[in-house]
Structure 1
Amino acid sequence: MAEQVKHDSAVLVHFTLKLEDGSTAESTLSHGKPALFRLGDGSLSDALENQLLGLRVKDKKAFTLSPESAFGMQSPDLVQFFSRRDFMETGIPDVGTIMLFTARDGSEMPGVVREVTEDSITVDFNHPLAGQHIDFDIEVLAIDPQMEASHASVTG
């Protein structure tokens, strides 16, 4: 196991994300299951990875990231308008419903239904936390943990 977090480390952490109003957006502590991230795989922003670099096991760190460094800014290009006919198979969704949409390249993207009118349905593909400053509280539990399959032994 590595001594400290490096550019290609796998890191097991507990984290809490809070919004500017103090409300908790996500916390691994609430369901007692830590998260595993690999730095350098593109799943974390560069700014977030930079906050983790150099941390050691049992280190705790609190920091705030700007929208650009966290989940990006709200983009009007990611708000799409669909006709009601596009929802013939699934049925007309309620406002606030999160649905998976398949892109032309076959990838899936979640979208939030923002408005339903007689003529159209507005879907927002921005990340739900886009445009927000995010307060992070992170605790490093393990660096490059051994990910072994658990072997159950039966004793009689």
Structure 2
Amino acid sequence: MAMQKDQVISINYELKIEGEVVDSNIGKDALEFTFDSEQLIPGLESRMIDMNEGETREINVPAAEAYGEHNPAMKQIVPIEQFGGLELEVGMPMQGQGQNGESIQVVITEILEDTVEVDSNHPLAGKDLDFTVTVLSIK
């Protein structure tokens, strides 16, 4: 039976990118979500719709159906003074402020003498995601 809107689904999953495990809840609490409520990335949820309780499936989600393609326009050069003397490192995640004042997550991608390049793409943007999903329950 196909999963239906508003059913509570409980799963275990393992996420790999290019063969490397980057996230997993195996051996931890199950992930519970309400089906068709935009709590999961669309490409994963749409590939799970016909799964049954107890079923395990390998699911590939292309970047476009996960966190989108990497967008070079989402990189920005910021004067280093805006970091108030913080000790900065490439790869360091930080909270930034979007054009409309909203809080956004950025990652430092380059540090020069007077400027810092930050990237506000999701860290998994541009990456195809390989999931192993086991449906534990459908309620």
Please, what TM-score do these two structures have when normalized by structure 1? 0.79
Identify the residue that residue 154 of structure 1 maps to in structure 2. none
Once residues 104 and 11 of structure 2 are traced to their aligned partners in structure 1, the CA distance between those partners, rounded to angstroms, is 26
Once residues 7 and 48 of structure 2 are traced to their aligned partners in structure 1, the CA distance between those partners, rounded to angstroms, is 10
Once residues 4 and 106 of structure 1 are traced to their aligned partners in structure 2, the CA distance between those partners, rounded to angstroms, is 41
Higher strand share: 2
Cα offset, 1:7, TM superposition: 2.9
Cα offset, 1:106, TM superposition: 4.8
Once residues 36 and 123 of structure 1 are traced to their aligned partners in structure 2, the CA distance between those partners, rounded to angstroms, is 33
In the comparison of the two structures, how many residue pairs are matched?
Answer: 139
- Name stretches of at least 5 consecutive residues in structure 2 with no aligned partner: none
The correspondence for 2:90, drawn from 67, 90, 95, is 95
Preserved CA contact (<8 Å) 1:84 1:92: no
The correspondence for 1:110, drawn from 105, 116, 128, is 105
- Name stretches of at least 5 consecutive residues in structure 1 with no aligned partner: 145-156
Once residues 127 and 43 of structure 1 are traced to their aligned partners in structure 2, the CA distance between those partners, rounded to angstroms, is 16
CA RMSD of aligned residues (A): 1.9
Q: Aligned residues: percent identity?
A: 26
Please, what TM-score do these two structures have when normalized by structure 2? 0.87
Once residues 99 and 33 of structure 1 are traced to their aligned partners in structure 2, the CA distance between those partners, rounded to angstroms, is 28
Map of 1:127-146 to 2, 5 A cutoff? 127-144=122-139
The correspondence for 1:65, drawn from 47, 61, 71, is 61
Q: Does 1:123 align with 2:123?
A: no
Q: Does 1:10 align with 2:8?
A: yes
Once residues 39 and 75 of structure 2 are traced to their aligned partners in structure 1, the CA distance between those partners, rounded to angstroms, is 23
The correspondence for 1:42, drawn from 38, 41, 46, is 38
Preserved CA contact (<8 Å) 2:5 2:37: no
Preserved CA contact (<8 Å) 1:4 1:57: no
Radius of gyration: which is bigger? Answer: 1
